[in-house]
Amino acid sequence: MTFSIQNMASQTKEAANVVATLTTETKNRVLMTISANLQAHSAKILAANKLDMEAAKKNDLAESMIDRLLLTEERIIAIAKSVEYIATLPDPVGLVTKTSLLPNGLNMSKQRIPLGVIAMIYESRPNVTVDAASLCFKAGNAVILRGGKEALQSNLALADSIHQALAQFDIPLNAISLVPDPDREIMNELLTLSDDVDLLIPRGGENLIRYVTENSRIPVIQHYKGVCHLYVDKFGDLEKALKILVNGKVQRPGVCNSLETLLVHKDVAKQFLPIVAATFAEHKVRVHACEKSLPYFENADLATDLDYDAEYLALEIAIKIVDSYDEAVTHIQRFSSGHTEVIITQDISLANKFIRQINSAVVMVNASSRFSDGGELGLGAEIGISTSKLHAYGPMGLESLTTEKFVVIGDGHIRG
């Protein structure tokens, strides 16, 4: 019999009704069993991963992709530990977020419920299989996992460990479904199943996210890019500014919460930019500078709008001197990707104005953009970062994998 993604989706939807009503205790016991299974089956998982690795080398996959694909004993233990960590997080399902007794005696409340069926579409990292499955499951959802073809054998082995845990607790295996066929046509069909799938979460490069958005009517959590700005105000503490600038640009340039543009108030440019130039020279950061700031840097080139729009994800930055706070805000509003923006200032009025005026997902005062992360902001684990404002905006934890229903309790109430 050939594989049918439509059948898998219907069965996952049925399983979602079961997962939605599991107690927190049961869900946590399942997660602990998944973790134990992963560690117990590590030899089998590593053997499957070896097949993927061999195929990847034969197919001349990029070095960075091969590293993402690789599993080791240590990586499996880390994956298992993160499942245990998810078991320790509070369960969002059933949380009462509002309750009131209406004038007519009706009792109204709002309660958190699972979204239903979430489809994860991702690339070569096998750890996403376990991560996404655990987060969706803890939030009471069923999930359809569609990983990249490079990781198929690894994913099948990981899913096997997961399914053994589900079976032990009499939970339908389709609570966590893995698409066993990496054919692109099957993925395209998955994107059309809006009756069965409540949410799509693509995890990977911008092309993947754009492809999923363009080809589906199902809501998509989008995270296109992070063009994070640091604005150093004339009342900024330049020591803090430098520390935060270096942390934001140099510590881990390849991630979305790293800095891509530095805006400096003209009154502090003369004092600040020479230090910046020396520091960036030391860290080999390539600079694209505006006309006014260009003279401070050796080997910098003139910044264009393309630079202000760029997510370099590398040791590379755009720098601009602004005449005023307002010019900084206007620049940010024009080029912002809606991810994270930072102001460095000691002026409390300006800090509050910045918080009011900037509506990116994360707005920061005197802190590094690198904190823009679900774990760092106290959400526990993170399923993604949304840069579209609907449903969730910014780092998404377990709560973002749920919605709210109204519960109304009467005693024979009718409307007049």
Binding site for a copy of itself (CB under 8 A): 17, 20-21, 94, 100, 102, 106, 108, 111, 113-116, 198-199, 213-214, 217, 219, 237, 239-240, 243-244, 246-247, 251, 333, 351, 355-357, 359-368, 370-372, 376-378, 388-391, 393-395, 403-415
Residue placing its CB nearer to a copy of itself in the complex, 21 or 168:
21
Number of other residues whose CB lies within 10 A of the CB of residue 8: 20
Residue placing its CB nearer to a copy of itself in the complex, 213 or 293:
213
Which one, of 187, 61, 33, 175, lies nearest residue 117 by Cα? 175
Residue placing its CB nearer to a copy of itself in the complex, 156 or 232:
232
**In 174-324, at which residue ranges do the beta strands (DSSP E only) sit?**
176-178, 199-203, 228-232, 259-265, 286-289, 301-302, 316-322
Long-range contacts of 345-348 (CB under 8 A, 24+ apart): 345/233, 345/235, 345/236, 346/235, 346/236, 346/237, 347/233, 347/235
Q: How far is the CB of 371 from a copy of itself (least distance, A)?
A: 6
Q: How far is the CB of 40 from a copy of itself (least distance, A)?
A: 34
Q: How far is the CB of 77 from a copy of itself (least distance, A)?
A: 23
Residue with tokens 């005197």: 366
Residue placing its CB nearer to a copy of itself in the complex, 37 or 372:
372
Q: How far is the CB of 138 from a copy of itself (least distance, A)?
A: 17
Q: How far is the CB of 334 from a copy of itself (least distance, A)?
A: 10
- Residue 90 is encoded by which pair of tokens? 């509070």
Q: How far is the CB of 105 from a copy of itself (least distance, A)?
A: 10
Q: How far is the CB of 233 from a copy of itself (least distance, A)?
A: 14
Cα–Cα distances in Å, from 291 out to 148, 153, 228, 302, 320? 45, 53, 21, 6, 8
Residue placing its CB nearer to a copy of itself in the complex, 76 or 245:
245
Residue with tokens 């579209």: 388
Residue placing its CB nearer to a copy of itself in the complex, 281 or 407:
407
Q: Phi/psi of residue 358, each to 5°?
A: -95, 120
Residue placing its CB nearer to a copy of itself in the complex, 50 or 234:
234
Residue placing its CB nearer to a copy of itself in the complex, 44 or 391:
391
Q: Phi/psi of residue 376, each to 5°?
A: -65, -30
Buried b (16+ CB within 10 A) or exposed e, 54-85: eebeeeebeeebbebbbbeeebbeebbebbee
Residue with tokens 């910045």: 354
Q: How far is the CB of 339 from a copy of itself (least distance, A)?
A: 11
Sheet holding 199-203, edge to edge: 176-178, 142-146, 117-122, 199-203
Burial tier of 288 (Cβ tally within 10 Å: 0-12, 13-18, 19+)? buried
